[in-house]
Amino acid sequence: MSRKFFALLTLAGIAASFASFASAADMASGYEPAGGGGELAYDWSGVYAGVQGGVQSKGVPNPFSSRSGWAFGGQVGANFQAGPLVYGGEFDGTYSTGTDIRLGDGAELEQTMTGAAKLRAGVSLDRTLIYGTAGYGWAKLKPKGTVVSDDQWKGGFVVGAGVEQAFAGRTSLKVEYLMHRLNDVESTVVGGATRSDDVNTQSLSSASTTASERRPWREYPPRAFSSRFGA
């Protein structure tokens, strides 16, 4: 696996670990929700759905490269919140105008459809959410160049990170980077020879979502201690 894969996986783990530590610290200090007179904090919990669009390629996503493809799709998910920790799951699917994957020696594949089932965890900074994500994804690959085998679906790990910003009401906008790893992609080329390749594709996308159950605000006091701490 590539160094980028491990770097992003580590980033996702750090984000989740930091959020868990922050939540535990709040609990230990007696930090509790209370009504009135406190600092307003956004509540990310709830079910959401939305649309997304972006660019994907075999290398760094570049909208000006002929090898990159524009991707459009949708997503649905759910968030849960415990203090500053936000965690949940998400399903997404996209259609690409054509992401060219060069395998070498004239062999190419075109990635046209992708989907993923992901877990994500991050830290809420009021209306801003910083998170890491990881899961399992799949992609439809079509032959190009000297590849003569049929269309195929392949699956593999997905890992990435993103930033989401909430706005008034129940809407939010996020930007997310993902790397999709496809192992042992087998192809038949002109002449009947077969080859097996490990493929990494990357995407940079923006999504707008609307929550159906999210409470827009929740009040937290600047610091609240339980009576056992003498405050």
In this predicted model, what pLDDT tens digit does every residue of 143-180 receive, in sequence order?
A: 999 999 999 999 999 999 999 999 977 899 999 999 99
Q: What is the mean predicted confidence (pLDDT) over 22-42?
A: 47
Counting residues of the chain whose pLDDT is more than 70, the rounded percentage is: 71
pTM of the model: 0.74
Whether the per-residue pLDDT at 44 is higher than 60: the answer is yes
Strands 39-41 and 152-166: unpaired
The CA-atom distances, in angstroms, between 51 and each of 1, 74, 210, 214 are 31, 4, 9, 18
Encoded tokens for 126: 């009021």
Q: Are 141 and 180 in contact (CB under 8 A)?
A: no
* Distance between CA atoms of residues 58 and 147, nearest Å: 17
What is the full DSSP assignment across 170-205?
TEEEEEEEEEEEEEEEEEEBTTS-EEEEEEEEEEEE
* Distance between CA atoms of residues 231 and 229, nearest Å: 6
Q: Which residues contact 221 (CB under 8 A, 6 or more apart)?
A: 34, 37, 38, 39
